[in-house]
Structure 1
Amino acid sequence: MKNIIVLFSLFLFISCKKEEKRVANLQAEKILDEKYQNLYGNWVGDFIVLEADSLVDESDYVYSNKLNLIIKKIDNNKAFGQSVVAGNSRPLSGIFSEKNGEYSFILYEPGKNNDDGKFTFKIINDTIKGIWIANDKKNKVLSRKFVLTKQAFKYNPNLMLPEDTEYVDWYSEKLDTLKEVIDDEEVTYFEETYRTASDVITKLNASTTLLKEEDIKNLKKLELEIIRNTIFARHGYSFKKKSFRQFFDPVDWYIPVTDDISRELTSIEQKNIVLLNRFQKYAEDNYDSFGR
């Protein structure tokens, strides 16, 4: 009986020590998290080509995309986060260090995708500056630079595209054949034209208003596309198509945070998407010429 009591007492002692250690570790983690809490969140800015394959045509890649580099956790010398850009959402993990008020990171994407790479950056005076280097040396874009600032994301159904902007789909180039008589001779030449959208896209809000057929029946295809995709942009959807990113990346309020918003759409938005898709299927486009 005495041996049983001794063993039980020893068990309790060891259990208490383990619990004390666990609580101490949790407290240490909390203190660490609180210390770096101001670093956590969305860091947003332009993701600009630094070096590209010289044999690849510039039209095969986008010179600048909007990048959201998310810092989620710092644990001693380790850091974890996520990169969201151009329709890709990739987990990040790597090394963290702090010296003289500067925070340095080397974070790696998993390496399973062709476009995965390594982010090396510093946080100095509330600004991130760094470079990304592709893992695949045969990638079209070998490296990009970025300057990012902290920007919180919150869904706001009232957000609209700016009115003082020309909305042209620069990826929809079409050559029109034109003929003109010069000095009694007919001359044939070609003119580049592009799909355009009117300012209706800055006025119709498909997140707050249940649209009717008469609201959109006379709209062009591009206008329907932009109105529909503005719904997705409000939810922080990261667009894979270059033709959509050109409209939303320059907008201040747009932050790409996810590649899946299917569960976030409101009832009004879901109904409007169905209606817009139905009309978009049969809509036509107008093309205009522009000096670039």
Structure 2
Amino acid sequence: MRAISQQKKASSTSKAIFNMFVRRGIFFTFKVPLNLHKFKPSGMRKFYALSFALILLASCKNGTKPASAVEMSSTVLTKILGSFVGPFGENKITLLITKAEKGIVEGRSIVGGNDRPFSGTISEANGAYAITANEPGDDPNDGTFTFKIDPADPNALTGSWQPLDKSMTIKNYKLVRKDFQYRTDVGNFPEASQRELKPEEVEEMMKSDLEQMRNEIYARHGYCFKKKEMRSQFEDLDWYVPASTDIRSKLTEIEKKNITLIKRYEKYAEDYEDEFGR
């Protein structure tokens, strides 16, 4: 009777365990010995212990990732958001990362008068974040960015850019974090963004100086110049960060008035220089 009681208790326990794993969607298969009715109580305990071990093994195989796998946390990924600036061939580039979560990365590349979106994947490789991001592909200057960011130093990235057009050159780059900041105290003519100019302040200026004054207003807002000669005037300046190809909505009322005034005198200066050969 004692053996029968133990057998019933073992059967009840095994059934409960089995039902628990069924509810969790874990299934397994194994062959039940045909001579199970001949098992002794001690043999039954060994059999159920073996069955339980097989269940645990099946649950491990059906699990997602082993406990040792490192998952990228949202808190850490926010550290790599922002803009990274540096040389890109003959130009200055800004890589702006706006999203980095759940294995997805999104952002923009601003360089050479172009502002292009990119999207791709982010993963961990050798202790660093490895990012591969593609530009849309509907522009002849589009390509694929591949770069890495070390979590221990999230203020720098290194990588390469592979153009879709195979006749173009692959570019390698090392960029540092530098967020755009609008400042009115930079440039040779900061007053153009600080206060409304008077006609007598600009009427005697040369056309090249007037153009410089006007373009500095745009540069303070992070305008990415399309003309190479304009880019060359600003891309070596520490305060200049290309951030957009359209800054019209960013201009202040003072700046708008000054731009109108400057353009008017640019025309006067051009006519005067043409007439007198200045």
Q: Same fold (TM over 0.5)?
A: yes
Q: Does the 8 Å contact 2:131/2:148 carry over to 1?
A: yes
Corresponding letter in the other structure for 1:159? V
What is the aligned partner in structure 2 of residue 244 from structure 1? 230
**1:134 shift after superposition:** 1.1
Q: Does the 8 Å contact 2:161/2:171 carry over to 1?
A: yes
Secondary structure of 2:107's counterpart equals strand
**Rg bigger for which structure?**
2
Aligned partner of 1:158 among 175, 185, 201: 185
Residues 85-104 of structure 1: matches in 2 within 5 Å? Answer: 85-104=111-130
Q: Does the 8 Å contact 1:105/1:121 carry over to 2?
A: yes
What is the aligned partner in structure 1 of residue 42 from structure 2? none
Q: Write the distance in 2 (CA, Å) between the matches of 1:226 and 1:130.
A: 34
Q: Does the 8 Å contact 2:193/2:255 carry over to 1?
A: yes
Bigger share in strand: 1
Q: Write the distance in 2 (CA, Å) between the matches of 1:205 and 1:130.
A: 39
**1:142 shift after superposition:** 2.2
What is the aligned partner in structure 1 of residue 160 from structure 2? 131
Secondary structure of 2:193's counterpart equals coil
Q: Does the 8 Å contact 1:79/1:105 carry over to 2?
A: yes
Q: Write the distance in 2 (CA, Å) between the matches of 1:33 and 1:43.
A: 20
Secondary structure of 1:107's counterpart equals strand
Corresponding letter in the other structure for 1:131? S
Q: Write the distance in 2 (CA, Å) between the matches of 1:148 and 1:156.
A: 22
Structure 1 residues 203 and 261: CA distance shift in structure 2, 3 A: closer
Q: Does the 8 Å contact 1:44/1:150 carry over to 2?
A: yes
Q: Does the 8 Å contact 2:77/2:101 carry over to 1?
A: no
- Residue 263 (1) aligns with residue 249 (2): yes
**1:240 shift after superposition:** 0.7
**1:99 shift after superposition:** 2.8
Gaps of 5+ in 1: 1-30, 49-63, 161-201, 287-292
**1:100 shift after superposition:** 3.7
Secondary structure of 1:283's counterpart equals helix
Q: Write the distance in 2 (CA, Å) between the matches of 1:94 and 1:204.
A: 40
Gaps of 5+ in 2: 1-71
Q: Does the 8 Å contact 2:108/2:116 carry over to 1?
A: yes
Aligned partner of 2:263 among 238, 254, 277: 277
Corresponding letter in the other structure for 1:158? D
Runs of 4+ residues deviating >6 angstroms = none
Deviations 1:8-47 (A, max 9, x none): xxxxxxxxxxxxxxxxxxxxxxx94322111000000010
TM-score (norm 2): 0.67
Corresponding letter in the other structure for 1:92? F
Q: Percent identity?
A: 41
**1:137 shift after superposition:** 2.1
- Residue 220 (1) aligns with residue 206 (2): yes
Q: Does the 8 Å contact 1:33/1:73 carry over to 2?
A: no
Corresponding letter in the other structure for 2:102? N
Secondary structure of 1:223's counterpart equals helix
Corresponding letter in the other structure for 2:131? F
Aligned partner of 2:80 among 31, 35, 39: 39
Structure 1 residues 204 and 234: CA distance shift in structure 2, 3 A: closer
Deviations 1:214-250 (A, max 9, x none): 1111212111111101111111111111111011100
Corresponding letter in the other structure for 1:76? K
- Residue 113 (1) aligns with residue 139 (2): yes
**Alignment RMSD:** 1.8
Corresponding letter in the other structure for 2:84? W
Q: Does the 8 Å contact 2:184/2:190 carry over to 1?
A: no
What is the aligned partner in structure 2 of residue 66 from structure 1? 92
